[in-house]
Amino acid sequence: MIDSDGGQIWMHVWAIATAATVAAACALVGSFLVVRRLSLLGDAISHAVLPGIVLAVLAGGRPGGAGVFLGAVVAALVTVWLTNLLGTHAGLAEDAGAGVAFTTLFAIGVVLVSALASRVDIDPGCVLYGILELVPFDTVPIGGIEVPRALVAATIVLVGLVVGAVVFWKELVFAAFDPAAARAAGLPVGLLAAGLLVATSLATVAGFEAVGAILVVAMLAVPAAAAELVVRRFHLVIVVAVILGIVGSVVGYLAAWRLNTNAAGMIAVVLGIEYVVAALLAPGDGIVARIVSRESLRWRVACEDRLAALWRAEEGDAGALAPRTLVDSAAHVWLVCRGRVGSTAGGGLTQVGREEARVIVRSHRLWEAWLGRHVALPLDHLHPPAEWIEHHLGAEVRGRIAADLEEQGGDPHGREIPPEQTAPGTPPVLPR
Amino acid sequence: MILAAADPPFTAAWALPYNTLVVAAGVASVGFAAGVVGSFAVLRRRALAGDAAAHATLLGVGLAFLAGGGRRDLPLLLAGALAAAIAALGCLVLIGRWTRTRDDAATAIVLGVSFGAGITLLSGITARGVAGSAGLEQFILGHTAGLTATDARMLGGLSLLAVCLVIMFLKESTLVAFDPSFAAASGWPVTLIDYGLVVLVALMVVVGLPAAGAVLVTALVVIPPVTARQWTDRVGIMLPLAGLFGLVSALAGVAVSSVVPRMPTGPLVVIAASTLLTTSLLVAPRRGGLARWLSARRTVAAWAEGRLLEIALRLEGAGPFTREQILARAPGAAAASAFRRLVRGAALEPVVVRGGGHAWRLAARGRELAAERTRRLAVWTEVLEAAREDARGQLTIDVPSPESILGAARLKSIRESAAAARGGPGPT
Amino acid sequence: MSTTSAGLEFHDVTVAYGRRPVLWNVDLTVPGSCLFGIIGPNGAGKSTLLKAALGLVPLAGGEVRILGAPLDQVRGRVGYVPQRESVDWDFPVSVTDVVLMGTYARLGWLRRPGRVERSLAAECLDRVGLADVADRQIGRLSGGQQQRVFLARALAQQADVYFLDEPMAGVDARSQERIFRVLADLRAEGKLVVIVHHDLRSAAEWFDAVALIDMRLVATGPVAEVLTPENLRRTYAGRLDVLDEIGRAVAEGGRTP
């Protein structure tokens, strides 16, 4: 079979194409599962379809044929029914009930496969981690080209899922985010849920031959979870999930080929790495982004505190002039570089610096006054909260607080609250 | 010590080599400990975390195998498995704390990726033909055939340790499982105890690996406690009962697996445990399906009889009544069979009527029953007035005896307080 | 009633969920022996204030002192009745088992409840009127009975300060009366009882002093002084949006508009 480099390359191309198609289908379905907190369902179905597949093959269906898909759907429905049964009669929480149901069905499936290994063309190992490498050898002729049967089945499933998702897009999204309102609005929520169940079963069976039962779980959950961290709009989540799934399957297969190990497992590992990278680097929410934002907040606070200290020094509080910590000194240097503070020794605030400092001190004293008025706090407790909040008040809210206070004149300690701006029409400049 | 071959056939069947007995004892103790430890996992709703840990053990087994230079040394491999299991649980915690990903997705991620990594490693080891690697596959679905007596003793010892820890810290575990905020407010280190429980579950998962394999071992930890819960309402009984069910499941699975060598043990253990569960769901008293169905039938039957008696009392004033007359006032399928039962029980007696028809009237027994029903209703009304919450949910349509439902002592105290309230200065 | 010992003190307590403040700068002192109510609209942070006192949520600022000391030094003298929703009522324990849990902290690690603890539990059950259901599994009780089991457990803690979180929620009127009578007895014995409560009318009837909370302390003091129309308007008639917006800005690390 492998008689030329070209022929061998084609085998790999087919295998990769199959894996990628399966990954795309699973990522699509998985997005709905993850967003609706139904990842467990994916786990359950991917295990539970096994007896359905085995019985269908026993009854004469070919692996990958329509009968097998039907058997899988039936098995999935049985799982859900059992889970509900256990919930109502055994008082089991949903996750425990599903766990009992699908492990039992999976166990039955494995026993069937082992016992009937001669009559059923399913390898027990394949059940767990698929036989992606062998997929290119089972082909059907399509338009003169020998195409792997698994790829054909996966493509049909993928196309069907895409069409279904597009046609029912509005209803699916509505039901996903607010099932109660959707039901009240007359949407057939139960039908949509059943549809999701069927879609998961189809994707699972399509992935069965490629990556086996358990790694389908990774394909369903990981790309969608990673996509969720990176983008916030649902249609984008699906797109990113599908891309991550395809990339993961291609890279995983190639890596497995290089390292001479199981392709399905490697794909799962690559998907996991994608997730970790997404968790670290996601804009706004990622771990790196959060650390950066926290540190930049801390720096902004340090600079603003320094400006406020210099203002208070100008008002007459000479003790505030000297920098108290290393961070204070660093902030001072930075302010000099940015032209907020004079560069001469003992230099004070520049014009720009004074404007910014004014805003900080105004925020501080407005908040102290507001607290004094609305919250039953003693006088000596007002300074620390104002030290904190002064960095978070913007112009509009300051205006509302000032209006609320009817400009009672000074802050509770008797000092003057600086006005919003010195010259009318020039709004103060603030560090971003 | 093999029993003499001269024994009669049926004892020869029980003639087991010492090795097998030790292995059986080891597996039995693993099953028992899994049930006991699993009880808290189920009560604490942490079943699924154990699944993620279980799937990760494969990776640990592979790494330990490599680290040990290719020896199939069970303690070493299980140590690796334990490390991987705890690492997986740590990942779950990290994902929960540092990302927006929700619990269920996090479990699926850790489960799928760690299992994939494990498969990759094992497959890579096998592909390179490292000596001794063939046996590693057995950790996926479990295979006790290769267990030695030494291995079994180690597993048994670890199981015993786990059970001892649970018993020692029974009150702390129950408290934290039942009401963590109260426990925290009382000063208990809830997070520590929780982690301890989870690590114990990871330990049981690892110890159960040879018997059930990574994929299915959580079933051994989850299903027996669920089964035990159907039979009892008390933690003190649920724990040993779960242990018993786990023990039986593990032994059954191993026994069948030894008869059918090619079959992995894990699925057989799970099927045994599920069979026990299904049976319990049907048969268990009070909570079981059968018991509840029977009880519901009895309630309906008693209700129908009570209604007929009432109607009979009313009709009596106009003389004997016919069957049609009484049934006309009691619609419903249950009424006809209730009528038959009343007749059989001599609560209604036939009366000969001019013209040869059949009529009925209340017999002495029937009057007794009717009077008893009236008395019960009166007592229940008192209870409703004095202590409504005791009546709520207990007073069913068949008007059961208040003495049996509430208990004689409680009923007495309710009636006394009701009498005091009536005889007192006024309604409370 | 000793005037020098303050039962409960909040000094400038701020609590944040994540980075978002939900309680702002609460400064409050409660005397040592009294029936004290914490009142306010839904979501105002009343439960949060209680949990902050018990160390169940971290403080973003300020400190709490109970009986003049930090919580860790006086845990043995503090009793707690949490909300009923926090518990799985299908748990296989009996009423007596739950009440015995109140004695666990005193027993410490590894020791089991003995005769002394059991007779204490029986006493507490008697006090709340549940002696007859001592062996029932807790799921088979009515709402009022479940609440009283929690109360009995707190009584078993033999504390000097009791914290109750919405003890009257979902409980019928008769049980409420019963519970209140037990609490009044506790106050008569010189204990401090702090209750988060949702109903203004019964608050006016039952409590000695109250604190009005709406994301911050609006007013505190004897009931008649605090429950004035002006104060109630400030608490209940519309949230201060300013606090919401600032809270969001703080959570994001930026400025408000």
Chain B partners (3+ C-beta pairs within 8 A): A, C
AA letter at B144: T
Q: Domain locations in chain C?
A: 8-252
Q: Which of A7-11, B304-308, B390-394, C73-77 has the lowest mean pLDDT?
A: B390-394
- Give the DSSP letter string of A348-382: -B-HHHHHHHHHHHHHHHHHHHHHHHHS---GGGS
Mean per-residue pLDDT over chain B, rounded: 84
Whole-number percent of chain C with pLDDT over 90: 45
Buried b (16+ CB within 10 A) or exposed e, A312-344: bbeeeeeebeeeeeebbeebbeebbeeebbeee
pLDDT of residue B4: 39
CA angle B32, B35, B38 (to 5 degrees): 145
pLDDT per residue as tens, chain A (432 positions): 444 456 688 889 999 999 999 999 999 999 999 988 888 888 888 888 888 888 888 887 666 677 888 888 888 888 888 888 888 777 777 777 888 898 899 999 989 888 887 776 666 677 777 878 888 888 888 887 888 888 988 999 999 999 999 998 988 888 878 878 888 888 888 888 888 888 999 998 888 877 787 789 999 999 999 999 999 888 899 999 999 999 999 999 999 999 989 899 999 999 999 999 999 999 878 899 999 989 999 999 999 998 888 888 887 777 767 778 888 888 888 888 888 888 776 667 888 888 888 899 999 988 888 888 777 777 888 888 888 889 998 888 888 888 877 755 566 676 777 777 654 444 444 543
Q: Which of B205-214, B237-246, B391-400 has the highest mean pLDDT?
A: B237-246
Mutation site for B-interface testing, chosen from C51, C88, C96 by largest number of B Cβ within 10 Å: C88
What is the C-alpha separation between B12 and A184, in angstroms, rounded?
70
- Give the DSSP letter string of B167-221: HHTHHHHHHHHH-HHHHHHTT--HHHHHHHHHHHHHHHHHHTHHHHHHHHHHHHH
Beta strand pairing call for C192-197 and C161-165: parallel
Say which residue the tokens 């983008």 belong to.
A231
Say which residue the tokens 């009424």 belong to.
B335
CA distances to B299, B317, B324, B344, C241 from B331, in Å: 17, 21, 11, 21, 62
C88 with B410: Cβ contact below 8 A: no
C256 with A376: Cβ contact below 8 A: no
Helix intervals (H) in C26-142: 46-53, 71-74, 95-100, 104-107, 115-127
**Greater pLDDT, C166 or B71:** C166
CA distances to A79, B198, B231, B266 from B270, in Å: 16, 22, 20, 6
- CB nearest to A393's CB, from C27, C218, C256: C256
Q: Which of A387-396, B160-169, B385-394 has the lowest mean pLDDT?
A: B385-394
- Closest-approach residue (CA) in chain A for B118: A265
Q: Which of A393-397, A427-431, B272-276, C42-46 has the highest mean pLDDT?
A: B272-276
Nearest to C141 by CA among C131, C149, C153, C151: C149
Residue C99 has pLDDT above 90, yes or no: yes
Helix (H/G/I), strand (E/B), else coil: C63: strand
ipTM: 0.86
pLDDT of residue A340: 82
pLDDT of residue B238: 94
Name every chain B residue with its beta carbon within 8 A of the beta carbon of A105. none
What is the C-alpha separation between A219 and A207, in angstroms, rounded?
9
- Give the DSSP letter string of A184-245: HTT--HHHHHHHHHHHHHHHHHHHHHHHHHHHHHHHHHHHHHHHHHH--SHHHHHHHHHHHH
**Greater pLDDT, A372 or B270:** B270
A115 with B263: Cβ contact below 8 A: yes
Strands (E), chain C: 6-17, 20-31, 35-39, 59-66, 78-81, 161-165, 192-197, 209-213, 217-222
What is the C-alpha separation between B142 and B211, in angstroms, rounded?
5
Structure-token pair, residue C178? 């019963």
Query: Do the Cβ atoms of A24 and A158 come closer than 8 Å?
Result: yes
What is the C-alpha separation between B178 and B175, in angstroms, rounded?
5
pLDDT of residue A411: 67
- CB nearest to A96's CB, from B42, B124, B271: B42
Residue C4 has pLDDT above 50, yes or no: no
Task: Determine the average pLDDT of the residues in B134-141.
Answer: 80
pLDDT of residue B48: 78
C250 touches chain A (CB under 8 A): yes
Beta strand pairing call for C20-31 and C6-17: antiparallel
A220 with B108: Cβ contact below 8 A: yes
The topology under which CATH files domain C8-252 is Rossmann fold (3.40.50)
Ordered by where they begin, the domains of chain A are: 5-283 (1.10.3470.10), 290-404 (1.10.10.10)
- What residues are paired with B351 via a beta bridge? B359
Chain C closest-CA separation from residue B234 CA (Å): 5
Whole-number percent of chain C with pLDDT over 70: 96
B47 with A89: Cβ contact below 8 A: no
Taking the model in full, what pTM does it have? 0.83
Q: Model confidence over C163-189: pLDDT tens digits?
A: 999 998 888 887 888 899 999 999 999
Q: Model confidence over B37-64: pLDDT tens digits?
A: 999 888 887 777 888 899 999 999 999 9
Q: Which of A216-220, B170-174, C116-120, C239-243 has the lowest mean pLDDT?
A: C239-243
Q: Which of A114-118, A406-410, C6-10, C92-96 has the lowest mean pLDDT?
A: A406-410
A89 with B281: Cβ contact below 8 A: yes
Ordered by where they begin, the domains of chain B are: 15-286 (1.10.3470.10), 288-428 (1.10.10)
Angle, helices B209-229 vs A94-115, to 10°: value is: 130
Say which residue the tokens 């799937």 belong to.
B55
Q: Which of A164-168, B75-79, B303-307, B424-428 has the lowest mean pLDDT?
A: B424-428
Query: Do the Cβ atoms of C66 and A67 come closer than 8 Å?
Result: no
